[in-house]
Structure 1
C-alpha cells in the first residue's frame, strides 16, 4: 500500500502537495472507483482535522448563522447519497502538452477522473435552515489547507452560484463508498458538486458563506479560469465540465500482438446529461466503429465503454470520440483547446499502439 493508503502503482505527480492518479487499467471496466484507486488533487498539505472537535460554520447573508458538529448534521437533516464522477479541471492535460509545453503544471493523464458513492446531507437543506437572504447570489466554501502556489499563500476558498448550490444533488458528504471519508479525500466533511470541475467540490470543509459576489480567494479569482471571454482580462471562471472521453487500455505506447485487441475507456457528459454514443477509429478518423457503452448510473456520471479491434502489424493510432444526449460532440484537435494552464482538454483522445 502506498502513501495515503493508495495503491502502489499510482502515478504520483507530487508527494507534497499530494497529487496522484491511477494507471488506466485500474479504472477500466469499474463503474465505481475503489478509494485506494481514486485520484487525489491537493493544493497544500493534507489537514488532519479531529472529527470530534470539528465544526461547520454557516454564515454571511443568512438569517440564522449555524455552527454544526457532524452529529448535529446527521441528526437535523435527512441523509442523502449519490453516485458522482469527480474530474480535475486538468484531466488529460498531457494531451495539451503535446501541442505546446505548459510549465509548472501537472501532466495529468486520463486518470484525474474517478467515480464514488458519496453520502451526507443536501447543502440546500442546510442553507434553507440557515435562511439565506434573497440578495445572496453565491455560496462560498472555505477549507484550512494552505496552498503555497497561491499568491499570497492562503487557505482554499472558492464559490458556486447560489442556484447551483441549492440544487438537490449538491452534497455535504462525510462518507465515500460506504466508509468515512479518508483524510486525503476531505475528512471529516467535503462538498460534492456533480458535473462541475473538481476544484468546486471542496475538501476539509469548515465554512459555508452566503455572499453577493463570488469568493475573493485565489482559486476563484485567479486560478481555474480560461483566458478571455466576456469577463475580460481576468478570464472566465470554470464551472460545469463539458463532454469528455478517454482511452484507458491499452495505454499509449503499449506493445500488443496483431489480431483482436480490446480497447476500453470512459466517457462522461456534463451536469444533467448522459453519453449517447462512443466511436473509435484506427485510420485517422476516416472510418469509425461504434463501441459498446454501459448504461449510465445517473446524469453526469461516467460510462465505461469497450470495443474489440482487429489490428494488423505496425503502429496503430487509436482515436475515440463521444456525443451526449443533447447532440454535443468533442473537438478533434487539442490544438484548438490549448490554454496557458492546460484546463479542460476535451479533444478526441489518441493512443499509439505498437502492434508486433
Structure 2
C-alpha cells in the first residue's frame, strides 16, 4: 500500500518538477542558476538524477515532514559553511520573519533547516506522507523531522537540497536578540509557527492535535505552552533555589549542586492544563479563560532530582507532618507589580517515595527549554499543570496552602448553577488530581472522506490523574449507539501490548487507535470516544452537566463529525 501511495504521488509530479533533476552539468559547479522573476523560480543544481530521486522518494514512502532532520554522515563541512554563509554564499539572505510569511500554497511554502531556506511549494503534491507537510510551513524542520526518523537518510537531504532558495540571516541562525525594547515580552523565546496561539502576551499555545498521536513522547517544541507572565531570563550560573520552613533552616542550592548532590531520576509524565477542551464548554455557555482546544496536554520524559531527597537534605523529619500539610512553590516569573506565580501541593504527595515529584532540569533528554521552566521546574505527576511550577525559585514547607491567586481564586471547579455573582472561591478545594480524559486527534471535525475507502482509522489520547491507569478506550462511529474497543499503546515501540506500570504510578497517557469499517448507508459519522481507568472512572457523556464558570475539568465524551462522500463517477 505504501508503494502504491508513493507511485500515486510521483504520478502527480509536474514537468517543471522533473526538470529539477535534469540540470545541465555546467551548472553543477556554480550551485545555483538564477532566473528572472520570483525567487521560487530558481533552478536548483547539484541535484540527484531522476532515477536516484525516484529511488529516494520510494525509500522515504510514508515519511512525514514533521520534527527534526538528524545529523547525517558527511555533513560536517556543510555545517561549517552555514556559519560563514553570508560571506561566501551566492544565495540570497532571508530573515525568519520573511520565511514565516510563506505558509500557504498561495504565498509559497518555505521552511528552514540548518541555516538554509527552502521553498517546498511544488513538493507538497508529491509528499508521500500527505498533507502533514503543511504543518512545517514557515518554520524550522528541526522540530519536525526527528519525530519521523525515516527522514534521517542521505537521499532525503539530497531531495531537500534541490529546493534551496537562500540562507537564513546569521542573527536568526544564532537566535540572538539584537534589539531590546520596553516590552516585557521582547525577550521571550522563539516558538514554532505550527502552534495554535490562544494568547500572545503572555504566550499560550497548543500544537495541532494530530501531532500528539504521532509520538508517545511529545517533542519539546510542540509541547503545549502555558505561561502567565513573561518568560524570565535566568542565568544558570547564578541561579539559586531556596528551601524554607524546615527545622534545618533555609537550604540554598545552586543548579550545579542540585545536579551533583542528589541522585538523578527520570519520570515520563503527562501534563494537562486545567482548561484543556475549554472550547467545548464555550459552545454551551461562554466561560472566562483561554479558548483551549483538545491539545493543552502533552507527554514528556523529565529528568531531575526527587523533591523528597531535597526536603530530607533541608531537614525534613516525620514529625514535621504533625504541623505541616503543604509544600508551596514560587516561580521566578512575575507580573508588573512583582507578584510571582505560585502554587502548592499536599505534603504527603511531596514527600512520598511513590509520589515521584521531581525538581526537573531536563526535558526529553535536554536542558529544559525556556518556555518550560529553565533551569528548574517542579513536575508533579498525576496533578494538574497549574501546580507544576516553572522557573522554580523557592520551596516552602508550610501549614498553609499557597496564598497565590492561582491557588486560592482560580483553578477550582463549581456547579453549573454557580455564576460570577454567586461564586465563593473559598468554598471549593484547589484542583490537584485530574479526572479521566480522552480525545480524538484524527480525523478532525469536518473531515470529508470517500466511501470507497471502506474503513476509517481513528486515533487519540487517554489519560487519568492521580496515577490511575487507563485500561480501555471505547470508540463509536454512530454517536454512541454501537461501540468498538481501541488498541492502546504506552510507547513508540510497535503496537504490542505494553506492561502495566506499578499500581498508582501510571503518570503518562496512553495513545490509542482503531480501524473500523465504514457503516453502510450513513452519510455522516459522529465519532465518539470515552476512556475508563483502573478505578472504573468514566467520562460523562455530555458537557452541560459539568459546565462551570471557569471552563475547567472539561472531560465529556469527545465527538467529531466526518462526512462520507459517495462515489459520483457512476462506476
Answer whether TM exceeds 0.5 for this pair.
Answer: yes
How many Å apart are 1:233 and its aligned residue?
4.8
Rg bigger for which structure? 2
How many Å apart are 1:5 and its aligned residue?
4.6
In the TM superposition, 1:335-346 aligns within 5 A as 335-346=544-555
1:143-187 deviations in whole A, cap 9, x for unaligned?
A: 121247xxx872101111100111230000000001000111000
Normalising by structure 2, we get a TM-score of 0.59
Which is further off, 57-66 or 1-10?
1-10
Instruction: Please state whether the residue corresponding to 2:284 is helix, strand or coil.
Output: coil
List, as ranges, runs of 4+ consecutive aligned residues in structure 1 with deviation greater than 3 Å: 1-7, 231-234, 295-298
Instruction: Please state whether the residue corresponding to 1:98 is helix, strand or coil.
Output: helix
How many Å apart are 1:264 and its aligned residue?
0.1
In the TM superposition, 1:147-296 aligns within 5 A as 147=335, 154-168=339-353, 169-227=356-414, 233-258=426-451, 259-294=454-489, 295=498
Change (3 A) 1:199 1:233: closer
Larger RCO (alpha carbons 8 Å, 6+ apart): 1
In structure 1, what is the equivalent of residue 536 of structure 2? 327
Q: Of residues 507, 514, 519 in structure 2, which corresponds to 1:307?
A: 514
Instruction: Please state whether the residue corresponding to 2:392 is helix, strand or coil.
Output: coil
Which structure features the higher share of helix residues? 2
How many Å apart are 1:97 and its aligned residue?
1.5
1:326-352 deviations in whole A, cap 9, x for unaligned?
A: 211111111111000000111110111
1:77-116 deviations in whole A, cap 9, x for unaligned?
A: 111111010111111111111211114x111111111011
CA distance in 2, matches of 1:62, 1:9: 49
1:297-325 deviations in whole A, cap 9, x for unaligned?
A: 66031000011133356221111011111
1:1-57 deviations in whole A, cap 9, x for unaligned?
A: 378454332111111111010011111131100111100001111111111111000
Residue 138 in 1 paired to residue 347 in 2? no
1:244-285 deviations in whole A, cap 9, x for unaligned?
A: 101000111222222211110010122222111111112221
Which structure features the higher share of strand residues? 1
CA contact (8 A) 2:530 2:558 kept: yes
Instruction: Please state whether the residue corresponding to 1:32 is helix, strand or coil.
Output: coil
Residue 75 in 1 paired to residue 267 in 2? no
CA contact (8 A) 2:246 2:314 kept: no
Instruction: Please state whether the residue corresponding to 2:462 is helix, strand or coil.
Output: strand
In structure 1, what is the equivalent of residue 232 of structure 2? 47
Residue 97 in 1 paired to residue 304 in 2? no
CA contact (8 A) 2:408 2:425 kept: no
CA distance in 2, matches of 1:5, 1:318: 36
In structure 1, what is the equivalent of residue 562 of structure 2? 353
Q: Of residues 294, 299, 307 in structure 2, which corresponds to 1:123?
A: 307
Structure 2, gaps ≥5 residues long: 1-138, 141-187, 419-423, 490-497, 566-571
CA distance in 2, matches of 1:21, 1:62: 42
Normalising by structure 1, we get a TM-score of 0.94
